[in-house]
Structure 1
Amino acid sequence: MSITTFTARRARALRLAATGLTAVAALTLTACNSSEGSGTKSEGMADTANSAPADKASNSKDGAEAGKDGASGGAAQDGSPQGGADKGGSAKAGSEKGGAANSGGSKGSSGSDNSEQEIGPCDINKLSIGVKTVKRPLNYAVLEVNNHAGVDCNVVGYPILNFNDAQAAIPVNEASKPQAVVTLAPGETAYAGIRLSAADGSGKHGYKATSLKVYLQDSDDSKSVELPGGSLYLDSTAQVTYWQSDLANALD
């Protein structure tokens, strides 16, 4: 064999070997790539399998929270239930406000009633007072008072009559008590009958009165009154009636 032939064969063998090594390397690389791709794909499936429920749960939780927030927001906007409470509060406030207005109206009405001045007792210093005798009944006199106060006033109870500065006033005839207190408008007159003595002479301790002081109940003020003819005869039967708005009732 010639050197040239040997060299050519050796070169061919080397090329074949190189080609074989190249093919083996290629196959190995392909196998590696295929294994890596399969591994990546497997990992991808694992990630999908493992992460999907988590993501789904996360999404569900987020969705629930979003729904809760949305419901809460809707409640606030719609007024139910939170909005309803606010509405109810507003309605209640309105009702209370209306009640306050009504109450204010009532108060105004009450104020209108209170604006009417209450009628007080008469002031003896603003009354003109006189005594006169009458023919019937016998031994009777009449005490008259006239209102000069310019406003209505009440003559309460009966007059307190003190003759001759005695220690006690003459008693009252309880049977003469009227059903209501006598009210005098300006210029009006009230009457009280005075029985001076018994018509049949049955009275005792008769005396001649030359002075008279008149008091109104619940007042310390008095007024001296002149007696007709300068004097009157009285005995133990002397009495005075309650104030009357009519003269006939004072003499009954």
Structure 2
Amino acid sequence: MSHSTAFLARRAQTVRSVAAGLTILAAGLTLTACNNDGTGAKSSGKAESSATVPADQGADAGARGGGGDKGTGGNGGAKGGAQGSGTGGAQDTTEKAGKNGSAAKQNAGGTGSNGAQEIGTCDVNKAAVSVQSVNRPVNHLLLKFTNRAGVDCNVPYYPILRFDNAQAATPAFEDSKPQAVVTLAPGESAYAGIATSSADGSGEGGAKSSNLEVFLKGLDSSTTVKLPGDGVYVDSSAKVTYWQRSAADALTW
């Protein structure tokens, strides 16, 4: 083979080698392009759907506020969880408070309407009862009744009085009837005026009495008080007023 022929043969071999190298390079570039999405992140070649993500990973992603597209999915999960728990908790608390309030209201209503006890008649055995003479009007006594019980009570109508061993009770002076029954709180007093005899001497069957037995109308129990001085003259004209709230009202006839 001549010198020129050998040179051409080597040149052709070099060209073929270069061409083969370019082919290999092109194949490599093509493979790289297929495995790269252009963002610098290598693709596995298999799309992962949210359905294939384990539930615990999804919960962790939601709690961290991440895991979604640009982080919004995670934030949405966290926000949704917060709203779900917060709103639900607030609603549950509100409902409980409402129920408790209704129960308290019902209990309060029961106490006010059904729980309130009706005020009863005073007990003479739980009271301080006294009688005293007065200058005006003449021939009068003032009866005082003080509630010593721990609760409110009523003194109904007028006191039932019996001087010493008199067979009949002293009649009431009807014009003294108040507009309402007198109710006494613990420590409060009611008063009644007693006319023992007529000023002009028109009464009959008079006699001196030393003791006065006091009843409350409608009750059998009584208490006995001593009359002022060495006794009080009492005749058929004796009368007693209804219970009054003040001594002045009891002595105004």
The answer, yes or no, to whether TM exceeds 0.5 is: yes
2:188 matched residue in structure 1: 188
When normalised by structure 2's length, the TM-score is 0.56
Which has the larger helix fraction? Answer: 1
Decide whether the 8 Å contact of 1:170 with 1:239 is kept in 2: yes
1:222 matched residue in structure 2: 222
Q: Does residue 1:120 correspond to 2:106, yes or no?
A: no
Decide whether the 8 Å contact of 1:130 with 1:225 is kept in 2: yes
1:202 matched residue in structure 2: 202
2:94 matched residue in structure 1: none
1:148 matched residue in structure 2: 148
What percent identity do the matched residue pairs reach?
54
Residue identity in the other structure for 1:118:
E
2:234 matched residue in structure 1: 234
**Cα offsets for 1:55-75 (capped at 9, x unmatched):** xxxxxxxxxxxxxxxxxxxxx
Gaps of 5+ in 1: 1-101
**Cα offsets for 1:13-57 (capped at 9, x unmatched):** xxxxxxxxxxxxxxxxxxxxxxxxxxxxxxxxxxxxxxxxxxxxx
Distance 2:143 2:170 in 1: 14
SS state at 2:229 partner: helix
Q: 1:249 Cα deviation (Å)?
A: 1.0
Corresponding residue pairs, total: 152
SS state at 1:229 partner: coil
Decide whether the 8 Å contact of 1:127 with 1:146 is kept in 2: yes
Distance 2:214 2:109 in 1: 41
**Cα offsets for 1:185-211 (capped at 9, x unmatched):** 111110000001111222221111122
Distance 1:132 1:125 in 2: 20
Decide whether the 8 Å contact of 1:165 with 1:212 is kept in 2: no
Structure with larger Rg: 1
Distance 2:167 2:204 in 1: 18
When normalised by structure 1's length, the TM-score is 0.57
**Cα offsets for 1:193-250 (capped at 9, x unmatched):** 0001111222221111122111111111011111111311111110000000111111
Distance 1:244 1:181 in 2: 9
SS state at 2:142 partner: strand
Residue identity in the other structure for 2:190:
A
Distance 1:167 1:237 in 2: 15
Pairwise CA RMSD of aligned residues? Answer: 2.0
Distance 1:146 1:107 in 2: 35
SS state at 1:113 partner: helix
